[in-house]
C-alpha cells in the first residue's frame, strides 16, 4: 500500500475511467454526523437501527423525528474542501477526456452543492419523499416538512414526540403517509441507480473510495470488484476498513486535506470551485 502522491498522480494520468465512491466521512467535516463510530448515536439509538422499514412501520413518528433532525443539520451545512476537490476532479477529467462518475452513499446533497453533476445517489435523498400508498416521489425542502415536527427531533431529549400518523408528512395526491425517499436496510437500490452503477464500474481503471466504513452492501463490494477487474483502488479514510487490503493507495487522514493533496488541487482551485 502506498501513500505516494507522485505514484498516484502517474496512475491518474494513465486512467481512462475514474470513479469516486463516497460515504458519510466526506461530510463529517461539514458537521454531519457519520453512522458508525463517533456521532453514530441519536438519542439512545444506533443511527442504523432507525434506517430500516421495520423501524418506520413500528414508529413512523420517531423515524420522522430522526430525519427531520438530519434535514435541519444538513440545511445549515456547507460543502467542505473534500466535496470541492471531487467536483474539481470531475472538471479535470472532462477536460482531459476521461470518463468520470461519482457514486455517493450520502443523502445530504452536498456534492451537488459543491458543483458535482450527474451524481449517482445510491441511497436516495434527504430532500425527496415517497408516498407509502401511491408511491409518488416528490422533492420537498420545506422546513419543517410538516407543522407537527416543528421543534422536534432534538437528539438530547428522551421525550418522543409521538406524532399521530395523520399529522406526519402526507401525500398531496392521495393523502397517504410519506416517507423519506431513502434506501433502508433490506431494501433494493433503485433499478436506474443499479444500472448507472454497473455502467460506472464496468471498465473502471481507477476507483477512489472516500470516507466509508465499507461494511454496507452493495457499495462495500465495489472496491473488490474493481480490483478483480484489474483496476486500481485508492482509499481516503481516517481509519482502516475491510477494503483497505484491496487498495494500492491509502491516504490516511481527513478527506478535506488528503483529497486535495493527492489530486494536486491547490487553494486557488478550491476557492474557484467555491465561487462557481
Ligand atoms: C472519515 C472522516 C474524514 C470519518 N475523512 N474519512 C451482502 C453481504 C452481507 C449483507 C448484505 C449483502 N447485500 C445486502 C446485504 C444487507 C445490507 C447490508 O449491507 N448489511 C451489512 C450491514 C452487512 N444491505 C442492504 O440491505 C442494501 N440493500 C440491498 O442490498 O438490497 C438487496 C438485498 C437486501 C437484503 C439482503 C440481500 C440483498 C441497502 C443498504 C441501505 C443502507 N442504508 C443506509 C441509510 C440510508 C438513508 C440514510 O442516510 O438515513 O445508508 S444505512 C447507512 O450506512 C447509510 C450509509 O449510506 C451507509 C454506509 O455508511 P458509511 O457512509 O460508510 O458511513 P459510516 O458512518 O459507516 O462510516 C464513515 C467512515 O468515514 C468511517 O470509515 C470513518 O473512519 C470515516 N471518516 N471522518 C475521511 N474526516
Ligand atoms: Zn400518495
pLDDT at 186: 96
In this structure, the answer to whether residues 131 and 204 fall within a common structural domain is no
* Domain boundary, last residue among 148, 182, 216: 182
pLDDT at 195: 98
In this structure, the answer to whether residues 156 and 247 fall within a common structural domain is no
Ligand 1 atom 5: the closest Cα is on which residue?
254
pLDDT at 38: 80
pLDDT, one tens digit per residue, over 217-241 is 999 999 999 999 999 999 999 999 9
Atom number in ligand 1 closest to CA 70 = 50
In this structure, the answer to whether residues 38 and 28 fall within a common structural domain is no
pLDDT at 158: 87
In this structure, the answer to whether residues 147 and 238 fall within a common structural domain is no
In this structure, the answer to whether residues 129 and 10 fall within a common structural domain is no
Closest C-alpha among 238, 208, 236, 241 to residue 222: 208
In this structure, the answer to whether residues 25 and 38 fall within a common structural domain is no
The CATH number assigned to the domain holding 163 equals 3.30.1600.10
How close are the terminal C-alpha atoms of the chain, in Å? 36
pLDDT at 39: 79
Atom number in ligand 1 closest to CA 186 = 26
Ligand nearest to the CA of residue 172, numbered in listed order: 2
Ligand nearest to the CA of residue 134, numbered in listed order: 2
**Which residue range forms the structural domain that includes residue 13?**
1-32+79-123+189-276
In this structure, the answer to whether residues 237 and 134 fall within a common structural domain is no
273 lines ligand 1 (CB under 6 A): no
In this structure, the answer to whether residues 171 and 44 fall within a common structural domain is yes
pLDDT at 37: 85
Which residues have a catalytic role annotated? Answer: 123
Ligand 2 centroid to 249 CA: how many Å?
A: 47
List average pLDDT for each run of 10 residues in the chain, which is 276 residues long. Answer: 97 98 98 90 90 97 97 97 98 98 98 98 98 98 98 93 98 98 98 98 98 98 98 98 96 98 96 91
Nine-digit cell at 119?
451524481
pLDDT at 40: 86
Residue 197's alpha-carbon distances to 20, 64, 93, 228, in angstroms, are 11, 29, 18, 16
3-state helix, strand, coil in the chain (%, to 5): 40, 20, 40
pLDDT at 44: 87
Amino acid at each position: 500500500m502506498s501513500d505516494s502522491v507522485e505514484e498516484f498522480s502517474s496512475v491518474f494520468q494513465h486512467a481512462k475511467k475514474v470513479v469516486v465512491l463516497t460515504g458519510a466521512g466526506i461530510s463529517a467535516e461539514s458537521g454531519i454526523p457519520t453512522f458508525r463510530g463517533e456521532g453514530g448515536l441519536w438519542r439512545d439509538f444506533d443511527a442504523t437501527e432507525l434506517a430500516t422499514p421495520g423501524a418506520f412501520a413500528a414508529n413512523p413518528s420517531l423515524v420522522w423525528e430522526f430525519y427531520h433532525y438530519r434535514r435541519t443539520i444538513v440545511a445549515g451545512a456547507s460543502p467542505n474542501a473534500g466535496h470541492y476537490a471531487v467536483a474539481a476532479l470531475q472538471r479535470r477529467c472532462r477536460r482531459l477526456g476521461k470518463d468520470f462518475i461519482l457514486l455517493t452513499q450520502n443523502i445530504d446533497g452536498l456534492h451537488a452543492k459543491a458543483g458535482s453533476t450527474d451524481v449517482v445517489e445510491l441511497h436516495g435523498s434527504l430532500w425527496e419523499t415517497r408516498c407509502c400508498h401511491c408511491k409518488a416521489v416528490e422533492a420537498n425542502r420545506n422546513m419543517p416538512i410538516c407543522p407537527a415536527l416543528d421543534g422536534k427531533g432534538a437528539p438530547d431529549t428522551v421525550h418522543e414526540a409521538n406524532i399521530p400518523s395523520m399529522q406526519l408528512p402526507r401525500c398531496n395526491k392521495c393523502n397517504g403517509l410519506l416517507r423519506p425517499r431513502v434506501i433502508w436496510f433490506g431494501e433494493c437500490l433503485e433499478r436506474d441507480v443499479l444500472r448507472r452503477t454497473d455502467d460506472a464500474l464496468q471498465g473502471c481503471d481507477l476507483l477512489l473510495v472516500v470516507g466509508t466504513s465499507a461494511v454496507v452492501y452493495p457499495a462495500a463490494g465495489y472496491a473488490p470488484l474493481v480490483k478483480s477487474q484489474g483496476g486500481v483502488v485508492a482509499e481516503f479514510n481516517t481509519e482502516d476498513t475491510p477494503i483497505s487490503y484491496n487498495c494500492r493507495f491509502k491516504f490516511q487522514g481527513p478527506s478535506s486535506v488528503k483529497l486535495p493533496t493527492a489530486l494536486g488541487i491547490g487553494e486557488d482551485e478550491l476557492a474557484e470551485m467555491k465561487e462557481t
